[in-house]
Amino acid sequence: MHYFSQSCTYDHSWARVVIGMWHKYPNPHCSHVVTVDVVDRTINPETGIIRTERILGCKQRAPIWIVKLFGGSEDAFVREISFVDPSTQTTTISSINLSLSQFATCNENIKYAPAPGGRTIFTQTAEIQTRMTMWRSAADKLEGWLAQRFEQNAQLGKVGFTDVLKKLWDEANERKEGVPASS
Amino acid sequence: MAQSLTSECTPLKLEYDSCFNSWFEGYLEPAVSASASSEQRAKYSKEKAEEYESKCGKIWASYRACVQKAVKEKGLNDLLDQAREENPLKEPPSNQSSSVPPS
């Protein structure tokens, strides 16, 4: 099993980060994410919690040995479930791979919560694990490749989202107030 | 905004996304501050859920029909059903115990 985690703080309020979340793609830093679709969405009329189920389509060229062994293709799909809870100011996002899922699972959990000073803390964890007993060295290699791709994409995702938030809110502040955003 | 699974659904997706986003942007900040009482929150949530339905319900229905067809065409139906069965994720994961392993 490969385990990954990172956290960082965004210089924007929780509400602004969560609004920005829906504007993350397309993103030049994350050009591997090509399609984003909402397949289910509910707004709980009692709690106000919004649950969204999306499918993200990614283009990732897999090494030839993966394609040969596991039949992967250039297209990889991910299922993502998010909960936005305004009462606790918590956003959680869970993702799982759909492609290659008979061989390996990549389970990602993200959380956005308010941090002191009107900022927002982002925490991300992921577990990557081959699913069943198979030829051990192939399983290890597959897991290693998935983990490496995940880490690369996680870094790019952070940089890409920082840009989105900056563009969305710094420009909005300048338009509204005629002054640059205070830092 | 990113494309849809099939180019046929992209215009519907873009229309739906902008409908949702403008609703969401109006919803979120008052929802954060409406936490005075659970009664107030429920009233606000109910009104806003109805507003979303009346503003975006129609375009959502067309977009969803299109994307459901696209999911089938791409052969993702079984994978999605299997993932939903394994982990329905109907409730926020904070209701479950934390999955952070000991360091």
Q: How confident is the model at residue B101 (pLDDT cuts 50, 70, 90)?
A: very low
Q: CB-CB: which of B35, B42, B68 is closest to A46? A: B42
- Kindly report, residue by residue over A135-179, the tens digit of the pLDDT: 677 778 888 888 988 898 899 999 999 999 999 998 777 766 554
- Kindly report, residue by residue over A88-127, the tens digit of the pLDDT: 999 999 999 998 888 888 999 999 999 999 999 999 999 9
In CATH, what class is A2-171?
alpha beta
Q: How confident is the model at residue A182 (pLDDT cuts 50, 70, 90)?
A: very low
Q: What is the spatial distance between Cα B63 and Cα A55, in angstroms, rounded to a whole number?
A: 14
Percent of chain A, pLDDT > 90?
56
- Amino acid, single-letter form, for residue B94: S
- Among A108-112, A131-135, B4-8, the range scoring the smallest mean pLDDT is A131-135
Cα–Cα distances (Å) from A130 to A2, A115, A127, A134, in that order, read 10, 35, 10, 9
Terminal Cα-to-Cα distance of chain A (whole angstroms): 41
**Domain range list for chain A:** 2-171
> What residues of chain B, 22 to 81, have a C-beta less than 8 Å from chain A?
24-25, 27-29, 31-32, 34-35, 41-42, 44-46, 48-50, 52, 60, 63-64, 67-68, 70-71, 74, 76, 79-80
- Quote the tokens at residue A157: 């995702």
Q: What pLDDT score was predicted for residue A144?
A: 87
Q: What is the spatial distance between Cα B24 and Cα B44, in angstroms, rounded to a whole number?
A: 13
Contact A45 B42 (CB under 8 A): yes
- Residues B26, A25: contact at Cβ < 8 Å? no
Over range B71-86, report the average pLDDT.
94
| Residues A70-98 as b or e (16 or more Cβ within 10 Å = b) | bebeeebbbbbbbbbbbeebbbbbbbbbb
Q: What pLDDT score was predicted for residue B31?
A: 84
Whether the ω angle into residue B101 lies within 30 degrees of 0, i.e. cis, is no
Q: How confident is the model at residue A180 (pLDDT cuts 50, 70, 90)?
A: very low
Q: What is the spatial distance between Cα B28 and Cα B34, in angstroms, rounded to a whole number?
A: 10
- Kindly report, residue by residue over A52-64, the tens digit of the pLDDT: 999 999 987 777 7
Q: CB-CB: which of B17, B35, B76 is closest to A98? A: B76
Cα–Cα distances (Å) from B46 to A47, A49, A119, B81, in that order, read 9, 11, 29, 30
- Quote the tokens at residue B12: 């519907």
Contact A86 B9 (CB under 8 A): no
Better-scored residue on pLDDT, B58 or B40: B58
* Nearest residue in chain A measured CA to CA from B3: A35
Could you tell me how far CA A94 lies from the centroid of its own chain?
8
- When the pLDDT of each residue in chain A is averaged and rounded to a whole number, the result is 87
Give the dihedral sign, CA A16/A84/A126/A153.
negative
Q: What pLDDT score was predicted for residue B98?
A: 43
List the one residue out of A161, A97, A155, A163 whose CA is nearest residue A130: A97
- Kindly report, residue by residue over A23-41, the tens digit of the pLDDT: 999 999 988 899 999 999 9
Contact A109 B93 (CB under 8 A): yes
This model of the complex carries an ipTM of: 0.89
**In DSSP terms, which residues pair with A126 in a beta bridge?**
A4, A108
